[in-house]
């Protein structure tokens, strides 16, 4: 009920609301990186993923129960759910490994190549046409990758390789998600995401018969990894539902300088101009392609 003594406050413009959701996503991604580094002192990546997914399972069960949406959880396209979650589980493990090996800015910069890999793989898996514009965007994006990794000028470390491979895995996740969203509700996709990845984490984390439990000191970090992961994806999805991708994409790019500043202040990681320039090239290629797709 409106209080007549108070003036009505204007509703924030869609762009501002989308920016607020993307700010939440950026904070969540950065929080997940910090939590992952903290947990790496006691847990391997499989164990980190297990606790991340178990936290997500609890949240999803509570949300679905409170909203009464269990009828929307089905086994339709279960095989595609499996493929999607294996790709995401692999990519997320590589991401957690990479953030402990190389500067955060490098990890986030290489992660931004996922849309470039989607352009390359979509003609194969989604039967989408490889247009001249998409091919040019992919070539420009790969030039940015070369600038970040600089083969020959620096050693291709396991961390760099892991970050590059995680982007390909995330591209597979994007492609399979695009196919699933044609006839599967989002809440069903998120449910199988958390459940399947919890199972994968328990299996892979227990292969050495020595599944570690985080100490009481690190337990809050384990919970934060799960909360941040789910909230980040929710924020991005909400932002995209409010504003077009041409507005959301530049907001998402703020993750890179934010990661670079975080790495400098918290971990004393030097700012590498090649990483920032290469990431800007990758972003430019992605953004130009999105603009072209919307005009078409």
114: Cα separation from own chain's centroid: 10
- Higher-confidence residue: 234 or 164? 164
pTM here is 0.85
Strand partners, 154: 151
Q: What is the pLDDT of residue 213?
A: 87
Helix (H) or strand (E) holding 21: helix 14-39
pLDDT > 60? residue 5: no
DSSP one-letter code for 151: B
Residue 44, Ramachandran bin (φ over 0: left; ψ between -120 and 50: alpha; else beta): beta
How many C-beta atoms lie closer than 10 Å to residue 247's C-beta? 17
- Higher-confidence residue: 178 or 38? 38
Q: What is the pLDDT of residue 296?
A: 67
The arithmetic mean of pLDDT across residues 77-102, rounded, is 94
Assess contact for 93 and 151: CB atoms under 8 A. no
Question: What CA–CA distances, in Å, run from 295 to 20, 133, 289, 290?
Answer: 26, 12, 10, 9
Q: Tell me the C-alpha distance between 2 and 164, whole Å.
A: 53
Q: What is the pLDDT of residue 12?
A: 56
- Higher-confidence residue: 237 or 88? 88
Q: Tell me the C-alpha distance between 239 and 233, whole Å.
A: 10
Q: What is the pLDDT of residue 7?
A: 45
Please report, rounded to a whole number, the percentage of residues in the chain having pLDDT higher than 70. Answer: 93
Q: Tell me the C-alpha distance between 135 and 200, whole Å.
A: 35
Question: What CA–CA distances, in Å, run from 157 to 37, 98, 149, 151, 154?
Answer: 18, 10, 10, 10, 8
- Higher-confidence residue: 10 or 292? 292
* 154 phi/psi in degrees, rounded to 5: -145, 155
Q: Tell me the C-alpha distance between 189 and 50, whole Å.
A: 18
Give one DSSP letter per residue of 50-98, joined into a string.
HHHHHHHHHHHHHHHHHHT-GGG---TTHHHHHHHHHHHHHHHHHHHHH
- Higher-confidence residue: 88 or 243? 88
Q: What is the pLDDT of residue 128?
A: 79
pLDDT > 60? residue 113: yes
pLDDT > 80? residue 229: yes
Structure-token match 């990845």, residue found: 197
Contacts with 201 (C-beta within 8 Å, 6 or more apart), sequence order: 46, 47, 49, 50, 51, 52, 53, 54, 89
Which tokens sit at 37? Answer: 């580094």
36: Cα separation from own chain's centroid: 14
Q: What is the pLDDT of residues 250-272, one digit of tens each?
A: 788 888 888 989 999 999 998 88
Q: What is the pLDDT of residue 2?
A: 44
Structure-token match 């095989």, residue found: 79
Q: Tell me the C-alpha distance between 116 and 96, whole Å.
A: 21
Average pLDDT, the chain: 86
pLDDT > 60? residue 81: yes
pLDDT > 90? residue 152: no
pLDDT band at 67 (very low <50, low <70, confident <90, very high): very high
- Higher-confidence residue: 83 or 4? 83
pLDDT band at 100 (very low <50, low <70, confident <90, very high): very high
Which tokens sit at 209? Answer: 């018969």
CA-wise closest residue to 223 among 38, 67, 64, 63: 38
Assess contact for 226 and 55: CB atoms under 8 A. yes
């Amino acid at each position: 009920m409106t209080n007549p003594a108070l003036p009505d406050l204007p509703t924030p413009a869609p762009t501002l609301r989308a920016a607020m959701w993307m700010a939440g996503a950026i904070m969540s991604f950065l929080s997940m990186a910090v939590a992952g580094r903290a947990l790496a002192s006691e847990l391997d990546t499989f164990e980190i993923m297990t606790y991340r997914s178990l936290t997500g399972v609890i949240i999803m069960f509570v949300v679905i129960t409170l909203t009464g949406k269990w009828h929307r959880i089905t086994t339709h396209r279960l095989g595609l759910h499996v493929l999607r979650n294996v790709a995401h589980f692999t990519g997320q493990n590589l991401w957690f490994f990479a953030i402990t090996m190389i500067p955060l800015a490098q990890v986030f910069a290489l992660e931004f190549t996922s849309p470039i890999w989607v352009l390359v793989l979509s003609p194969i898996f989604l039967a989408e046409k490889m247009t001249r514009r998409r091919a040019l965007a992919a070539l420009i994006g790969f030039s940015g990758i070369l600038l970040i990794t600089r083969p020959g000028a620096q050693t291709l470390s396991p961390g760099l390789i892991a970050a590059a491979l995680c982007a390909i895995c995330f591209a597979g996740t994007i492609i399979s998600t695009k196919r699933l969203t044609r006839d599967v509700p989002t809440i069903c996709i998120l449910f199988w995401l958390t459940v399947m990845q919890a199972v994968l984490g328990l299996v892979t984390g227990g292969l050495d018969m020595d599944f570690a439990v985080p100490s009481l000191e690190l337990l809050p970090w384990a919970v934060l990894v799960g909360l941040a992961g789910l909230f980040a994806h929710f924020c991005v999805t909400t932002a995209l539902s409010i504003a077009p991708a041409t507005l959301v994409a530049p907001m998402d790019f703020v993750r890179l300088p934010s990661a670079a500043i975080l790495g400098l202040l918290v971990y004393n990681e030097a700012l590498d101009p090649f990483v920032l320039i290469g990431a800007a090239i990758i972003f430019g290629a992605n953004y130009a392609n999105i603009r072209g797709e919307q005009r078409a």
